[in-house]
Amino acid sequence: MKVFTGLVPVVLLASCSAYSPASIDRREVFQSIVAAAGASAAIVNPSFANAVLQPCPKGNCIRTEWIPPSGMNKDAAIASLRKALESYPQEGQNSVDLGGWTIVDDFADGTGRVEFKSGIGTFAKFFNGGKPFIDDLRFEVADDGVVAVRSSSRIGDSDLGVNQKRLNFLVSKLREAGWSAPDPVY
């Protein structure tokens, strides 16, 4: 991975100089730096040409990267990833995603999106107007097969570990197929 270096020092100094440690926390400083600098301060993998996945701004989101087995190209990586996704039970697993899931964007351009729905229980009825909570799982597959991943809840500051449980399932399936995938962390 590389960091764009041209604008970063100037943006860091300009962005941080207005904040005192007592008035703002580090997360807010980082978010203001990224907002002020745009993509020029982001850490990027040059193999991701589109860079469609946004950074994770809050505690209900996980961003990670999965590496396919050696020699696997983009098309094979998508097929392997799709197989892992299709093994995810429609009735959910580990007490999450009890309302099923749907592939919304089908990797036609190297990106994919899956919507997961919580079961409609008392908690959802109370907090979300009787509708299930919906989470988005997004992928961007580079030409070398490396997959950028972002799993996030659409609303709220906490997901009660749902994104992590979902990604743990998928990571275990991909590891069985020879992928290198770190344990998901917020």
- Answer whether residue 138 shows pLDDT above 80: yes
Determine the pLDDT at residue 34: 43
Summarize the confidence of residues 114-135 as an average pLDDT: 79
Determine the pLDDT at residue 69: 97
Determine the pLDDT at residue 48: 52
**Where residue 1 falls among pLDDT bands split at 50, 70, 90?**
very low
What is the rounded CA–CA span in Å between residue 150 and residue 48? 14
**Where residue 179 falls among pLDDT bands split at 50, 70, 90?**
very high
pTM: 0.71
Gap between the terminal Cα atoms of the chain: 20
Structure tokens at 118: 């919580």
- 24 residue type, one letter: I
Determine the pLDDT at residue 28: 52
What are the pLDDT digits (tens) for 52-83? Answer: 788 887 778 999 999 999 999 999 999 999 99
What are the pLDDT digits (tens) for 14-27? Answer: 334 443 444 444 44
Summarize the confidence of residues 156-179 as an average pLDDT: 93
What is the rounded CA–CA span in Å between residue 151 and residue 50? 18
